[in-house]
Amino acid sequence: MTLAAGPRVATPTGRSVSTRAASVCTRTAVVVITRDRRDELLHTIDRLEAAGAGDIVVVDNGSSDGTSAAVRSRHPGVTLVRSEVNLAAAGRNLGAMLTDAPYIAFCDDDSWWDPGAIERAAAHLDRHPDLAAVCAAIRLAGDDRLDPVSLEMAASPLPGAPGEPGPRLVGFVACATMVRRSAFLAAGGFHRRYGVGGEEEMLAIDLVDAGWGICFAPDVVVRHRPSAQRAPASRRRRVLRNRLWTLWARRPLSEALTGSLAALRRAGAEDPPVVVAGTAVQAVRALPWLLRERRVVAASTLDALRLVERSGGCP
């Protein structure tokens, strides 16, 4: 399968198969990425279908646990594409290209949208054509607590435009965000190098720098039950590496340096110095690519990033 849209949209290098036609024409679609989490994925699809999610596209990132066969058997109405290689977060790019829906709700195999949430998110994008993305409030499945990252987003110092459901952001959480497909693809989607963990930051910055808005919507709810198969330590290392890459790819040199030192100090509070140092070395090894990718964003984008960071919140 050969697909292309935007400067960095990743496509599989191996064989892909789909249970339905490769292009689905609807108003909204849900794109789910997964890898070796068959039972959790099936539970998520059950929840999405019960919520009336409509068209669902699943990108299986090379699972070896029978994920694709189980989806075909239990959910024949789902559009399924299997990549022979692990595209990680960039699998969402492929999912976005398999639908013509103007709005795409992302979720992972351990998160799902509440009944009515997809319609509310789409209505916000309808009413505000300058928004590229609406980030839902994330509630933890089981106890209904608001995820700490949603509390930070709700406290964003960037005011929303009149009529918007919440404050503006310069970041989002991919597993709980609806994007305007045209803006997402024009920005290049998720970078293949980033994997999963902090992969949203550079895409969000690029969207804002292109003149788009990202908004927090507390009336839109996504449930999240963090997978038991997560590897927290390796994820922390990936988040740190991606943070360093984004700083050097988009910030002035002085801010890239001070931001990197701050990120390394924070990482040192959770991981041994040798682990943090190893992650920094891994980030530095990508210097040739970073130099090609480097593009300092506009002053207005930098002002928004600085304001959020001074407030102590997340992007």
Summarize pLDDT for 103-137 with one digit per residue, the tens: 999 999 999 999 999 999 999 999 999 999 999 99
CB-based contact 45:121 (threshold 8 Å): no
* DSSP for residue 168: B
**Residue 93: exposure state from Cβ atoms within 10 A (0-12, 13-18, ≥19):** buried
> How many residues comprise the chain?
315
313 vs 19 pLDDT, higher one: 313
Q: For 32, list phi and psi in degrees, rounded to 5.
A: -120, 130
- Structure-model confidence comparison of residues 24 and 285, the more confident one: 285
pLDDT, tens only, 234-249: 889 999 999 999 999 9
pLDDT band at 253 (very low <50, low <70, confident <90, very high): very high
Residue 17 has pLDDT above 50, yes or no: no
Work out the pLDDT band at 54, boundaries 50, 70, 90: confident
Report residue 11's pLDDT band, with 50, 70 and 90 as the boundaries.
very low
When pLDDT is cut at 50, 70 and 90, the band that residue 229 belongs to is: confident
Residues facing residue 83 across a β-bridge: 61
Q: At what angle do helices 232-250 and 200-209 cross, to 10 degrees?
A: 30
Is 1's pLDDT higher than 80? no
Tokens of 105: 């709700």
**Per-residue confidence (pLDDT) for residue 264, from 0 to 100:** 95
Q: Which CATH architecture has domain 28-224?
A: Alpha-Beta Complex (3.90)
Query: Which of 5-19, 36-50, 190-204, 255-269 is least confident?
Result: 5-19
100 within 8 A of 37, measured Cβ to Cβ: no
Domain limits, the chain: 28-224, 232-309
- With cut-offs at 50, 70 and 90, classify the pLDDT of residue 35: very high
Sequence-ordered alpha helix ranges (H) in 81-132? 91-97, 117-127
Give the pLDDT confidence score for residue 19 in this predicted structure: 46
